[in-house]
Structures are given as C-alpha cells and as structure tokens.
Amino acid sequence: MLRQGGTAADAALAMMLALTVVEPASSGIGGGGFFMYHDSKADDVATIDGRETAPAALREDRFLGLDGKVKDFPEGIIGGYSVGVPGNIALMAKAHARWGNLPWEKLFQPAITLAEKGYVATPRLAGTIAKMAPRWDGLDATKAVYFQDGRPKVAGEVIRNPALAKTLRRIARKGPRAFYTGQIAKKIASAVSNAPLNAAPMTVADLATYEAKERPPVCVLYRVYRLCGMGPPSSGATTVFQILGMVERFDLKALGPENPQAWHLIAEAMQLAYADREKYLADPDYVAVPVPGLLDEAYIASRSALVSENKARSSYAAGTPPGAEPRTAALSGEVTGTTHFVAADRFGNVANMTSTVQGPFGSQLVAAGMILNNELSDFSFAPIKDGAPVANRPQPGKRPLSSMSPTIVYSSDGKPIFAVGAAGGKRIIMQVAKTLIAHLDWGMNAQAALAAPNIYFDGDALLLERGTPLEAQAEALVQFGHVVRVTAITPSKANAVEQTTAGWVGAADPRSDGAWLND
C-alpha cells in the first residue's frame, strides 16, 4: 500500500483486513479496535474508537445464572451471549475518509486474494485451532473453514475461505454500509440469535445504528517526552500513564534492568494502577470516567508516595482521584487474544492500531466467513457489587472496557519518534509500559525493548517471565517482600516502530509470529 502511494492509514487498514483472513483467532472485521493516527499535515494526533457495542436487547443479568450467581467465565464467552456489534469496518471507513489516499476497494485486494487462493497455516494458528476445535460441536460454518477430512487443519495445510472472500468483495464494491445493512448484517444477526450455544438476540437494527467514534486522545508528559494514547472505553492510556507517572520520581536509568529494585518499583506502580483501572474505567458514554483526575499530577504523586523503594505493599487498593464519583471496584474478564500493528509512511504519518475479536477465535461463531467476537465478556459479569452498580456492568448499547493500549511517543521538539502496542488481554498494559520504560529509560532500541522481560501479577503473586533475565531476580524480589512465581507470561505479541537516523525502523516481539518490513 505504501509503495502504491498510500498513507500509513491505508497500510494499517489493509493490514487489518488481511489479518481477518490469516489471523482469525485474534482479530478481524468481526471484531473491533482502536486506531491512533499522527497526521503530519495537521501536526496532531487523533484517535478513533471502533469498540464493539452491546445489542439493544442485552440485559444487565446476561452473565448471571438462574440462581443469581455469576456464571463461570468459560460459560459466557462461547456462542451468542458474548458477541458485540463489530466496529472495525466503521472504524476503517472513518479513518479512510479522513486520512486515506488510495481507493477504498484497493485496500481489500490483498485480503480477498488470501481468502480465495488460501494461505498456509502457521504452527501457532494450527495449535490454536487444535485447542479450540473440541468446542466446535455443531458449529458447521466454523469447521467448514478450519477442518479438513473431519479433523482440525494442521500446520502447513492451506486454509481457504471463499465465504469471507465474498463478504470482502461486497464491502469493497458497495462500501461500509454493505457490512451494517443487507445480506451481511442479516447473517451476523442470525448467527448470534440462532447460535447453537448461548443464543442471544441481535438484530439488523443493532448493526445499522453502530457508530465508530472519534475520541479525544489522552496525552501526558513523561520525563522529556510527550506520550499519547487511547482514552476510555480503553483503559490503556490511563493505566500505562499512571504506571509511568508513579515511577517517574525514581532514577530508573541509573538502576537499569539488571537491578531488582527497578522491577520492584515497576511492580508496585503496576498493581496500584490496575486497582484504579478496575474501579473507575468504563464506557464514557455511560459512566463518568475521571480521566483528568486519574492523571492529575498531585494525585499521581500521592499514589507514587505509596511505593516504597525497599518494601512491597501488603495490599493495593484504588485511590480517590479528583472528580471521581463513588464507585465499586469489580474485576472484568479479559482473555488473551488480539493483534497490534503499526505503519509509518514517507509523508510523516504514523498509524497505530490494536484490533481484536477477543479470542482465541472469539465467540467461535462464523458468519459470512468471518469469526465473530466475544467482546461482551469484557464486561464485569456481576452488575452489582456491595449493593452498588459496577461501572463496567453490561448495558444495552454500551462498549465493554478494554486494555488495548496503542501509544505514540513524541520527542521534546514534538516529533513522533516511537509507536507501540500489544496483544494479550489485561497484560497488554504491562507489555506496553515495560516496553516504554525499556526504550525511554534504559535506552534499548525497539527490538530489544519488546524482547525485554515481561512482569505481571495474579492474585497475591508477582509473575516473572520464565526464561528471561528476570527469572534470576526472583529471590531478590522475594527479599523486597513480594510473593513471586516464575511462569510463562503468554501470549506476548507487541509490535513497534522507532525513528532512527536511518528513518523509521520496525520491530516485532520475538515471542510471536510478528514481523516487520522496512521499505
């Protein structure tokens, strides 16, 4: 797309369409996403929210059993219960109209070719198919694409998807409304409403009224850099920037990645920031989200003051940011799927997009050849906690909370110099925060920063990535008072571009199938 005179927007949107075909377990037009764009002409950054919405018939008790108790998470994520109205095509239309150079139809051609002629299943995709196939009893449309001779396709076999090629051709020819009305909309609504498992009402009106929304970007200063990210219903920018804000008073550069104290400080900030995430973040069209308060300098300083240089906290409660309404904290369920990709062009534009069907393989349902998302499982299953409504509770038309964290970094003179994002459910936030610290504080190039160890938490334990230098620091972190568990922190699927003296250079997480191409 870039070689044909396209912009970074054209390239990113064509990638989204192609990934619909070749990475169906993670993202595609049956899901949604968030799109960031640095517009070189306007010298500004904009963000588009293409997050899925709940159908009008959704009830707050969607994920409660007959006994009033929350269903087990796996019960709610397969079939019709979890499918939101897809947003990626509407997002694409809005981005293309504003920043695209190439004809709409041209962006679809690589994806159509891949769907018609086929592509070779990678070991990762084949492994995911094998893992999910036992859940596909009765899902004939899904098996039609990903089974061969009555068994799941394996690595090296060709996958063709003529139904998806037909869908893509129709949207390419007739425009974005062809997705949200007519044959395609009817097929999506029918697949959800008549699902063999967890059938749930979705109508063509739900699709016809969907709107991708431009949202104000969330921007902060970190040391000498300006960082911008995606605001609610993404929790990415606020949580990533809280983590960075809390560690900013420490000299992470002097400590370096080999010093366990650096990871201790990151771990403490991480857990405090996630506590605020669970309490305050949700769809801003339904809930007052105190974004300015969460990023208020005095509030961040007060949260940072809770971080001891030498001792782990025994608990990590949410704070009370300025402007926050009384709120009840409740965990949301986010599984580890999603795809991230970046494009930078000769004109100085940068497109940074995270796209998802949740996953793996979303709801497991296929309509018009596409995997349908299971994004409604990102709502907090319990609508009420401690007698008060939960911010991220299910509601009709609402967008579930997300952790997707596309981020663009600007130099002190206002030039974009780095763009990053990741896949992996709630772990997206920490992958991005870690990468930013590794790049901006520890001076690692983009590739090394992505490869740096991952750190997360689970219950009462601090998780350290097995097989990385961080594993050797486990005992030292125990001495700080952490309960530590060394484990595989997967999936890790971050991607980035950085501005160098030779121009833009791409980087991909070595743990994933990601790749980059410099022209």
Catalytic center residues: 338
Using DSSP, state whether 233 is helix, strand or coil: coil
Assigned token pair, 349: 């534009």
Residue 40 CA to residue 347 CA, distance in Å, equals 7
CA torsion, points 388, 394, 397, 400, in degrees to nearest 10? 110
CA max distance for the chain: 63
CA separation (Å) from 219 to 179, 213, 216, 229, 338? Answer: 33, 18, 9, 6, 24
Residue 380 CA to residue 376 CA, distance in Å, equals 9
CB distance 153 to 126 below 8 Å = yes
Q: Which residue type sits at 366? A: V
Q: Beta 461-465 vs 484-487: how paired, if at all? A: parallel
The edge-to-edge listing of strands for the beta sheet with 455-458 is 455-458, 461-465, 484-487
306-328 burial code (b ≥16 CB/10 A, e <16): ebeeeebeeebebbebeebeebb
CB distance 400 to 378 below 8 Å = yes
Number of H helices, E strands in the chain: 18, 22
Cis peptide upstream of residue 55 (ω within 30 degrees of 0): no
Residues 120, 125, 129, 130: is their CA dihedral positive or negative? positive
Assigned token pair, 380: 């907090």
Task: Mention every residue, 6+ apart, whose C-beta is less than 8 A from residue 11.
Answer: 1, 2, 343, 345, 351
CB distance 108 to 32 below 8 Å = no
The edge-to-edge listing of strands for the beta sheet with 339-344 is 213-215, 44-50, 32-39, 350-356, 339-344
Assigned token pair, 464: 């350290």
Assigned token pair, 202: 């979705």
